[in-house]
C-alpha cells in the first residue's frame, strides 16, 4: 500500500521538513565507501590492468573471456539483434542527434580597428571515457545520450567501460548501442576500478580527459574523488520527478508518471504539486491500482512511501514557486495551457509540457539529453550536452601601438595589486622610448 505524504504548501514547517528529508538522501558521505574506493583507486594507479582484473575477479567471481571486446563481437551483436530494437535505437539516435546539433558553438574572431585581434577557439576533447552499467541494470539509452553529443562535439575517441554479465559476456544490447553510436573501444570492466583505469590510464585502457555516465555509489564516489585528475559530467543523486497538475489533468497519467521515476531506486523522489485536492485523491488511488501490475513494485512502494509527497497549493503561481524551490531533475506540467508557465520555470533539469510529454519520452526518444542535474543542483547545473565535451581557449594579438595605448592602465592596476613583475613585463617593452 502506497500512502504519499499530503502536505499543505502553506504549512511552512511541514513543507520544509519534507524538503530536509529529500536533502538527506544524498547529503551524507558514506565514509566506508569512500575509504574502499580510495584504496581501489590507489591500487589501480599502481597496478594498472592487473589490478583492474584482480578486482573484477574479486567482485564478479570470474574474469570475462576478453578484456577488450573485439570489433567482430560488436558487429555480431548488431547483426543478431532484434531488427525492431535496432530500428527503435536508430530513430532515437536521430532525434538525439538532431537536437544536439543545434547546441554546437562556433569560435569567433574579433578584429579591432587599431590592429588588435581577439578570439576564441572551440574544439572537442581528445578522448572521453563512457561508463555504462551492465548486467541486469543495462541501459543502452545511456550510450546514446552520452556518445551522440560527444561525437557532435568532435571528440576524437570514445572509450567505453561496462561490467560483464554473470557469465562473463558483454551485454548484447549495450554492444548494439555502442556500435550504432560509433564508440571506438569497449572494455569489460566495471566499478570504481574501471573509473580509476580511465582516469590514470593503464597498459591497455587509454587515459581519458573526461568520464561520463551513470553508476552505483562506488562509481559515483570514484568520479568524485578523481575530479581534478580528470573531468566528470556530474555527481548524480537519486532520480526525481515533480509533476505540476491541476483539475484538468488525468489522474491515470499523473500516477503513471510519478511511478516511472520511483521505480529507479528506493531513494528516488516523486512529488505531485497540485491545486486540486480531488485530483490528489484520485492519483493516490490510481497509484495503488497501477502498481500491482509493475515489475518493480517493491521499489516503487518504498520510494513513494519514504520520499513521495503531494503538495497542495492554491494557485498556479504558487505551484511554480514550489517547483523552482525543489529544482527537480524532471519537471512535468500537466496543467491547462502549460506553455504559459515555461518562462517562469527556472530551476529544472528538463521540463515536459502537456499530457503527452511523459517523462520516459525524454529518457529514450525525444532528443533532449536524459543526463540531468539532481538533488536541487538544477539551480546552477545544466543537462549534459555538446558543450560538456568541448573546451574553449581565448587568444589575443596586440600591436605595439595598441599595447602602448593601454600600458599605463595595465601598470597602474598591476602596481595596485603589488605585482610589480606584471607591471615590468609591460614597461620593459617601451624602456628605450621612455628614456
**Beta carbons of 174 and 143 less than 8 angstroms apart:** yes
Which residues fall in the annotated binding site? 131, 193, 216, 239, 261, 264, 330, 363, 417, 422
Instruction: Please return the burial class of 233, using the count of CB atoms within 10 Å of its CB with bins 0-12, 13-18 and 19+.
Output: buried
Binding residues for NAD(+): 131, 193, 216
Residue of 240, 330, 359, 370 with catalytic role: 330
Catalytic member of 240, 263, 301, 329? 329
Q: Measured between alpha carbons, how far is 257 from 332 in angstroms, rounded to an integer? A: 9
- Is there a contact between 217 and 40 (Cβ–Cβ < 8 Å)? no
Q: How many Å apart are CA 39 and CA 107, to the nearest integer?
A: 42
> Is 330 noted as a catalytic residue in this protein?
yes
**Are 315 and 276 spatial neighbours (Cβ–Cβ below 8 Å)?**
no
Q: Which residues define the annotated binding site for substrate?
A: 239, 261, 264, 330, 363, 417, 422
Give the integer Cα–Cα distance in Å for 144 and 370. Answer: 10
Query: Going by DSSP bridges, is the β-strand pair 117-124/108-111 parallel, antiparallel, or unpaired?
Result: antiparallel
Give the gyration radius of the chain's Cα atoms.
Answer: 26
Cell 595595465, located at residue: 410
* Half-sphere exposure in the Cβ direction for 234 (13 Å, CA): 22
CA 211 to chain centre: 11
- The question of whether 329 is a catalytic residue gets the answer yes
Q: Helix, strand, coil shares of the chain as percentages rounded to 5?
A: 50, 15, 30
- Grid cell of 280 as nine digits: 490528489
Q: How far apart are CA 27 and CA 375, in angstroms?
A: 9
Task: Determine the distance from the C-alpha atom of residue 368 to the mean position of all C-alpha atoms in its chain, rounded to a whole number.
Answer: 12
| φ/ψ bin of 46: left (φ > 0), alpha (ψ from -120 to 50), beta (otherwise) | alpha
The region that residue 327 occupies, defined by phi over 0 for left and psi between -120 and 50 for alpha, beta otherwise, is: left
Q: Which residues are catalytic?
A: 329-330
Amino acid at each position: 500500500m502506497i500512502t504519499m505524504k499530503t502536505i499543505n504548501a502553506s504549512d511552512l514547517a511541514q513543507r520544509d521538513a519534507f524538503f530536509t528529508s529529500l536533502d538527506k538522501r544524498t547529503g551524507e558521505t558514506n565514509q566506508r565507501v569512500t575509504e574502499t574506493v580510495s584504496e581501489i583507486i590507489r591500487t589501480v594507479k599502481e597496478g594498472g590492468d592487473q589490478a583492474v582484473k584482480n578486482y573484477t575477479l574479486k567482485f564478479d567471481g570470474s574474469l570475462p573471456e576478453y578484456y577488450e571486446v573485439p570489433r567482430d563481437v560488436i558487429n555480431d551483436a548488431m547483426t543478431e539483434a532484434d531488427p525492431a530494437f535496432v530500428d527503435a535505437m536508430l530513430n532515437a539516435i536521430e532525434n538525439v542527434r538532431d537536437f544536439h546539433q543545434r547546441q554546437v558553438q562556433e569560435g569567433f574572431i574579433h578584429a579591432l580597428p587599431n590592429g588588435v585581434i581577439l578570439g576564441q577557439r572551440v574544439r572537442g576533447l581528445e578522448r572521453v571515457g563512457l561508463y555504462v552499467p551492465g548486467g541486469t541494470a543495462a541501459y543502452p539509452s545511456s550510450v546514446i545520450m552520452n556518445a551522440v553529443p560527444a561525437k557532435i562535439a568532435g571528440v576524437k575517441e570514445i572509450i567505453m567501460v561496462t561490467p560483464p554479465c554473470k557469465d562473463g559476456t558483454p551485454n548484447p544490447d549495450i554492444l548494439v548501442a555502442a556500435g550504432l553510436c560509433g564508440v571506438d573501444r569497449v572494455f569489460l570492466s566495471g566499478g570504481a576500478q574501471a573509473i580509476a583505469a580511465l582516469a590514470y590510464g593503464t597498459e591497455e585502457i587509454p587515459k581519458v580527459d573526461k568520464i561520463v555516465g551513470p553508476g552505483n555509489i562506488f562509481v559515483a564516489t570514484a568520479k568524485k574523488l578523481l575530479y581534478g585528475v580528470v573531468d566528470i559530467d556530474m555527481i548524480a543523486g537519486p532520480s526525481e520527478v515533480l509533476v505540476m497538475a491541476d483539475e484538468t489533468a488525468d489522474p491515470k497519467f499523473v500516477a503513471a508518471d510519478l511511478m516511472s521515476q520511483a521505480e529507479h531506486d528506493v531513494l528516488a523522489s516523486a512529488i505531485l504539486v497540485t491545486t486540486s485536492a480531488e485530483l490528489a485523491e484520485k492519483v493516490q488511488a490510481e497509484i495503488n491500482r497501477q502498481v500491482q501490475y509493475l515489475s518493480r513494485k517493491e521499489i516503487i512502494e518504498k520510494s513513494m512511501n519514504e520520499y513521495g509527497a503531494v503538495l497542495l497549493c492554491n494557485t498556479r503561481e504558487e505551484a511554480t514557486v514550489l517547483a523552482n524551490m525543489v529544482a527537480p531533475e524532471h519537471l512535468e506540467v500537466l496543467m491547462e495551457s502549460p506553455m504559459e508557465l515555461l518562462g517562469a520555470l527556472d530551476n529544472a533539469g528538463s521540463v515536459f509540457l502537456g499530457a503527452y510529454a511523459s517523462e520516459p519520452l525524454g529518457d529514450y526518444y525525444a532528443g533532449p539529453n536524459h543526463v540531468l542535474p539532481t538533488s536541487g543542483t538544477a539551480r546552477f547545473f545544466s543537462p549534459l550536452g555538446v558543450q560538456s565535451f568541448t573546451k574553449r581557449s581565448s587568444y589575443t594579438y596586440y600591436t605595439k601601438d595598441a599595447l602602448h595605448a593601454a600600458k599605463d592602465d595595465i601598470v597602474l592596476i598591476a602596481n595596485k595589486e603589488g605585482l610589480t613583475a606584471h607591471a615590468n613585463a609591460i614597461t620593459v617593452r617601451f624602456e628605450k622610448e621612455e628614456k
